[in-house]
Amino acid sequence: MSFVTRRRAMEAPHHEGDHKLKATLGWAHLMALGIGAIIGTGIYTLTGVAAGLAGPAVILSFAVAGAVCACAALCYAEMATLMPQAGSAYTYSYVTLGEMAAWVIGWSLILEYTLVCSAVAVGWAGYASGLIQQAGWPVPAYLLSGPEAGGLVNLPAVFIALLVTSLLLVGTRESATVNFILVCVKLVALAAFVALTLPSFDAGHFTPFAPFGFGAQDVDGTKFGVMGAAAIIFFAFYGFDAISTAAEEAKNPRRDLTIGIVGSMVACTLIYMIVAAVALGASPYDVFSKSEEPLAFILRELNQPVAASLIAGAAVIAMPTVIMVFMFGQSRVFFAMARDGLLPRSLARVNKRGVPSAVTILTGVIAAIIAGALPLSQIAALANAGTLAAFIATILAVMVLRRRAPTLERLFKTPAIWLIGPLGLVGCVYLFSSLTAKTMLFFFAWNAIGVAVYLLYGRAKSRLA
């Protein structure tokens, strides 16, 4: 069989000792992982970025991105319960589409997860820097932003990326418990924001509703319009896919993964729509979109400085949950690829606490370097490209298996797959086409490097070789 088309068996290969992950997570931990990943920079920071691209119609951008993610989430739920193994879309592609496709998707996931960690670190740094300046701490401005923003290095972003890395090294269940607590803090803060801004709601802020139109309009390399904003805030919705990377560590994967993936997606979509609506009602989009901490900015404009500080403080405390979840996911994808021999197998070793420490440290260091140098919008857009590739692969995997193994027992089945699947594929392709040319170029360049790495190393070292 050609190395391009050789496929792994659906059954999980037997692993022992320091190449085996421990099952320590219940459905509550998994759902908290999903909410922890989805509710973060997207709502605290990218709401302002997207509003500047679409105006009040950013609500439609959330709806479009959410609909595409919903199609993908249903497919992820089916594949995760069918194959509760580490690796997410990489593993699904390996079983259904072949080794070459699996490598490309795995390589894209490495890009996605690492950049998400960096993007959220930058978003967190925006709130942290605001609190630092408000407190009057003697931190030079050039250490609070990267080179493109006129600084030297975004030191707060570097700090939080490395801090989360250290926490993940403590243990899977321990870090998941911390994530659960911080998710509760985050939800309370968002509920407080809605309650405080709702009395100042002004419907006049929604006119004109779509000042930049519906399609993605390119202006000086930036895509404006509802779809242009959707291609960016798509970043805000994914996170449920990180749950599937924890499949091997779930106590009851066939039940708990469905609850975690579908439940977190539904809950977070509702939260996003409500928060975006009250933010737009409380402040004109062209005002708060210029702030790196839009929710706190809106409260300050409403003469509620104490509440603004508390919301910013909650963001500083709780946004690292997103970094934690995606860093967790990236290390598991890297781990699965190394365990399959496509990357050095030494990277697949886990420590006494059941953590793949080498890849976790590697992920944290790379994420910290990127966060210290690049702005949020560029990082988020490039991360979206990798995610869309993974979504396309997972949807295709479900459709291929429905044809190849129609009688296979499925505890969760994606409803109306021949409608949901094609709609999800079209949505993902359209969102990808709405990204900037620069983002697409970087994405294809990254995968060209990946293919070279595979041909020089992975093809011969694979366990299936």
pLDDT in tens, 346-373: 877 777 776 778 888 888 888 888 888 7
User: Tell me, what's the pLDDT at 378?
Assistant: 64
Lowest mean pLDDT among 43-57, 78-92, 385-399: 43-57
User: Tell me, what's the pLDDT at 403?
Assistant: 93
| 3-class state of residue 144 by DSSP | strand
Residue 398 has pLDDT above 90, yes or no: yes
User: Tell me, what's the pLDDT at 305?
Assistant: 84
Cα–Cα distance list, 333 to 243, 246, 317, 359, 371 (Å):
12, 10, 27, 10, 21
298 burial (CB, 10 Å; 0-12 / 13-18 / 19+) is buried
Residue 146 has pLDDT above 90, yes or no: no
User: Tell me, what's the pLDDT at 392?
Assistant: 92
Give the pLDDT band of residue 409 (cuts 50, 70, 90): confident
Q: Where are the beta strands (DSSP E) in 151-233?
A: 217-219, 222-224
What is the average pLDDT across 68-95? Answer: 84
124 burial (CB, 10 Å; 0-12 / 13-18 / 19+) is buried
Give the pLDDT band of residue 39 (cuts 50, 70, 90): confident
In percent, the amount of the chain with pLDDT more than 90 equals 9
Residue 209 has pLDDT above 90, yes or no: no
CATH of range 24-461; options 3.20.10.10, 3.40.50.720, 1.25.40.10, 1.20.1740.10? 1.20.1740.10
User: Tell me, what's the pLDDT at 381?
Assistant: 65
What is the average pLDDT across 86-97? Answer: 86
What is the average pLDDT across 274-283? Answer: 86
Strand partners, 144: 154
| 3-class state of residue 238 by DSSP | coil
